[in-house]
Amino acid sequence: MNREVILLLFPVMAGFCIPFGIKVSSKFGRVISLTSYLAGIIYGIIHLPGVMVKSRNVIIGNWIPPFGINLFFSPFTLGIVILIYGIASLVLLFDLYNTESRRGQYYLLYSLFVVSSVGMVLTGDIFNLFVFLEMGVIASSALIALGENTSGPERSLRYLIQAQGTSLLMLGGIALLYSAVGALNMAVFSRFEALKPSFALLTAVLILLPVLMQIKLYPLNTWAGGAFNSALTSFSASFCCIWATAGGVVLARFVLTIMNNESAFSSVTEKIRMLILVLGSLTILIGEAAALREKKLKRVLAFSSIGQMGMIAVGISAAGFASLKGALILLLSHAMAMALLFFTAGFLIRKSGTDQWRKMKGIGRKLYFPGGFFAVGAVALVGFPMFSGFWGKIELIRGVMAPGGIYIAGAAAILIGTIIEGVYFTRIVLSFFQHGGDWNKASYNPGFMLPSVILCAAVILTGVYPALIDFWLLSSIYELLNPKDFYADIIL
Amino acid sequence: MKRNELLINIFTIILIILIAAIVYLALTDSRKGLTLFSARLEDRVSYRYLFKCVSETDALKQRSVRIGQSGYENGAANIVTAVIVDYRLFDTFCEVLILFAASAGVTLLMEKRKKRIKKEAGIIVQTAVPMIMLFTIVVAFYIILHGHLSPGGGFSGGALIASAFILQFIAFEKKLSKRWFALLEPLAGLGLLAFGLSGLYLRGSFFANFLPTGSLGATISAGGIMIVYALIGIKVASGLSSISADFSG
Amino acid sequence: MTVWIIVLGLIMFAGSVVVIFQKSIKNAVITFGAVSLVSALMFILMKAYDAALAEASIGSVLTTAIFFWTVRRLEENGFNEKK
């Protein structure tokens, strides 16, 4: 049976029900969205043990994979999907208390956004992936435009133009690939006769472009700062965590599974990895340097996220056991810590009435919960010992150093990026806890406290006891490094 | 400002020429390996779609598809429809969701017009539009319901219905309420979802075609394709109409 | 057949260039609609009738109408392209 597909359909159902429900009650949208994400988490956890034993290939329409579309359920994808649903429901919890009521279409678009991220992670068909990507782009550009200030539409348009342009190029790449291979399934590409080197490079770059853009890699990330700054806090958080996590998974899928040594792209595997390495290293340096001299709190977080995604890209490009382990831990830690940071940043910006972190001097002395949460998120992101980022950074640097050669430069970039990150986050946290500034005490609602406490606990737990996710990490790495045994053979 | 603009233009043109040269070189490279159009027709997945033998595991058994025969795994005489609405129905479903997202986004962001400058359309337009609308909608219904037989289907037919409504929006100030479109669209979506889930329940796979396929080329044939295309047509028509209703005020 | 396709392609190309260098927005929108009509013709020549239908209704009706409604909204808020 192929019942697992329902995992993808919970938010779709919620989305279709919302226009009717809001006729009855204005709270219907948020309630049913939250319910659908919680249902997704529960359904995913129920299926996790079975998938841990053996990955499942879920076919759609009873057409077998090279001809029909399939979804791939492995520990890797299912774990990421549970994470996505988890963060989506935390964001909605935050939304429940911390914003004025929104129109039903907001929740509808948010549901579609979550569906598209989940679909990108699960799908096994490259054209289907393109369609999901497009869906996410449309939904998220509408949500960015609904910003807190008037520059929302402009930022959204900027994002939309870049995203549409790159996805158009991806469509061209898919067409080229189909004309050479004659199939659209990613498992087919992962073990196929080699393409001509120049042609392979062309198609690979065309296909990778939108993914590189969505995870904000260097030449294609000019939209990021403004978009994150002007979007609503809850959407910035989800856009940063959910969408970038899904993008990171897709990048890993492309670089490691479809463009491996035995695939159609076998002639250019090294070149593609080198490209990702160089772009990732540049992204780290540029993103962190931009964050260092940025004044607005949410923009700092956006640039910091850019730097983190660069590190993840470098880890993926090194394609070793340790580097992948580091990249995956960093992916989780980035998602959780960034959500925490955005929540607290949104809370602080709303309470203080300014979006510049220098003007929030001393705010942590009165509002010690948000200040403390911010500090926890920051140290987790930077990678202090006992927090989730620590293991990620250690393994990442160790793994990226291993191949030697130009990869040493990548490791150096990660190190430098981490140091810069440490500098600016220390500066911000210190300024929050300085003397001075008179702030009123505020009451905390459960919508702020509950998600923050959960995320804090998750960040600290994975840092103190990393063996908790070890099994998931191992099976994910095996799947990514042995695409033949753990991916293609199961699907085809 | 002016000088910068010129520089940017020149830079863009050089960049485009460079990219074109790279693409040309990549496509006309003479080294060994697969390249553009190197997959023969028989190797492509679309070949199996043509001869309707995807489910057979061994080599192609059936080499001919004839109008009037029955028992094919997919009963659509129109090959494009067979691919869009049966073999790759999930993609189509997601594309419908994209349209849903677009119309919801427009509804979310568009404000009502505040200062209205009223300009009525002329008498010729106002007389002609209802007639044109009638014909357009009739043709659109034909296209939607015969999607499995003749070119077209839910998307083209839905767009035609939407263009009929756009003509109405242009000609008359008083127009159909937007509410109906906003409710019709998710209703059709729920219908699609119900179709998919009944396929999952009855045939063990989401969007499996659980109705009999009938004989190729008959009006009532191809199982669920007719139903799915009708739902898609309603959804596309109401989505595009809702977008244009939002824009027109 | 091929000759017609080439001729129509040239017309489309010329139309797109005209759209870019058009001074007035309304004229540009009309030209744009005409270009998509020509592309619908092109689809018919290439025997893609369904794509032609969709292109004719979306490209020349829907997008043109949406552009004009946007221009109307702009004009109602004090935008005047002659200035």
> For the segment C19-66, what is each residue's pLDDT rounded down to a tens digit?
988 888 889 999 999 999 999 999 999 888 888 988 988 888 899 999
Closest approach of C3 to chain B, Cα-based (Å): 24
In a domain, C36, yes or no: yes
Least confident of A284-293, B4-13, B49-58: B49-58
At residue B2 the predicted structure's pLDDT band, cuts being 50, 70 and 90, is: low
Q: Which of C57, C69, C70 sits opposite B159 (nearest CB)?
A: C57
Residue B58 has what pLDDT? 63
Which of A338, A369, A381 lies closest to A439, judged by CA? Answer: A369
pLDDT at C75: 85
- % of chain B exceeding 90 in pLDDT: 33
Bridge partners (DSSP) listed for residue B215: B70
pLDDT tens, B214-237?
888 888 887 788 899 999 999 999
- Please indicate, yes or no, if residue C15 is contained in any of the structural domains: yes
Residue B61 has pLDDT above 80, yes or no: no
Which residues of C fall within a CB distance of 8 Å from B157? Answer: 53
pLDDT at B174: 67
Nearest to C76 among B113, B155, B156 (CB): B113
* B208 shares contact with chain A (CB less than 8 Å): yes
Nearest C-alpha neighbor of B81 from the set B138, B146, B136: B146
Q: What is the pLDDT of residue B232?
A: 93
Question: Residue C83 falls within a domain, yes or no?
Answer: no
Chains C and A, touching by 3 or more CB pairs within 8 angstroms:
no
B240–C58: do the CB atoms touch at under 8 Å? yes
Selected residue of C50, C63, C75 to mutate for chain B interface (largest B Cβ count, 10 A): C50
Chain B residues in contact with A109 (beta carbon < 8 A): 101, 104-105, 108
Q: Is B56 on the interface with A (CB under 8 A)?
A: no
Residue C33 lies in a domain: yes
Low-confidence ranges of chain A (pLDDT < 70): 1, 98-101
Query: Mean pLDDT of all residues in chain C?
Result: 88
pLDDT over 90 percentage in chain C: 47
Work out the minimum CA distance from B31 to partner chain C, whole angstroms: 31
C82 inside domain = no
pLDDT at C83: 59
Whether residue A115 lies within 8 A of chain B, CB to CB, comes out as yes
Alpha carbon of B121: minimum distance to chain A alpha carbons (Å): 32
Chains in contact with B, counting 3 or more C-beta pairs less than 8 Å apart as contact: A, C
Could you tell me if B198 lies within 8 Å of chain C, comparing CB atoms? no
Q: Establish whether chain C is in contact with chain B, requiring a minimum of 3 CB pairs below 8 angstroms.
A: yes
- At B236 the pLDDT is 93
Can you give the pLDDT at residue C41? 92
Quick check: is C81 in a domain? no
The verdict on a CB contact (< 8 Å) between B166 and C61 is yes
Residues 162-201 in B contacting A (C-alpha not used; CB under 8 Å): 182-183, 185-186, 189-190, 193, 196-197, 199-200
pLDDT per residue as tens digits for the range A435-468: 877 777 777 788 888 889 999 999 888 888 888 8
Chain B positions in Cβ-Cβ contact with residue A200 (cut-off 8 Å): 33
Residue A33, min C-alpha distance to chain B (Å): 15
* Tens-digit pLDDT profile for residues B74-108: 888 888 888 888 889 999 999 999 999 999 999 88
**Helix (H), strand (E), coil (C) string for chain A:** CCHHHHHHHHHHHHHHHHHHHHHHCCCHHHHHHHHHHHHHHHHHHHHHHHHHHCCEEEEECCCCCCCCCEEEECHHHHHHHHHHHHHHHHHHHHHHHHCCCCCHHHHHHHHHHHHHHHHHHHECEHHHHHHHHHHHHHHHHHHHHCCCCCCHHHHHHHHHHHHHHHHHHHHHHHHHHHHHHCCCEHHHHCCCCCECHHHHHHHHHHHHHHHHHHCCCHHHCCCHHHHHHHCCHHHHHHHHHHHHHHHHHHHHHHHHHHCCCCCCCHHHHHHHHHHHHHHHHHHHHHHHHHHHCCCEHHHHHHHHHHHHHHHHHHHHHHCCHHHHHHHHHHHHHHHHHHHHHHHHHHHHHHHHCCCEHHHHCCHHHHCHHHHHHHHHHHHHHHCCCCCHHHHHHHHHHHHHHCCCCCHHHHHHHHHHHHHHHHHHHHHHHHHHCCCCCCCCCCCCCHHHHHHHHHHHHHHHHHHHCHHHHHHHHHHHHHHHHCHHHHHHHHHC
Q: 3-state DSSP call for residue B215?
A: strand
Domain count, chain C: 1
3-state SS, residue A54: coil
> For residue C62, what are the domain limits?
2-76
pLDDT score recorded for residue B175: 64
What 3-state class would DSSP assign to B114? coil
Residue of B nearest to A134 (CA): B98
Determine whether the interchain pair B105/A138 forms a contact, defined as Cβ–Cβ distance below 8 Å. Answer: yes
Chain C residue with minimal CA distance to B169?
C65
A9 to B100: CB separation less than 8 angstroms, yes or no = no
Q: Which of 166-205 (A) contact B at CB < 8 A? A: 176, 178-184, 192-202
B74 in contact with C, Cβ within 8 Å: no
Chains contacting A (3 or more CB pairs within 8 Å): B
Task: Tell me how far apart the alpha carbons of residues A389 and A379 are, in angstroms, rounded to a whole number.
Answer: 8
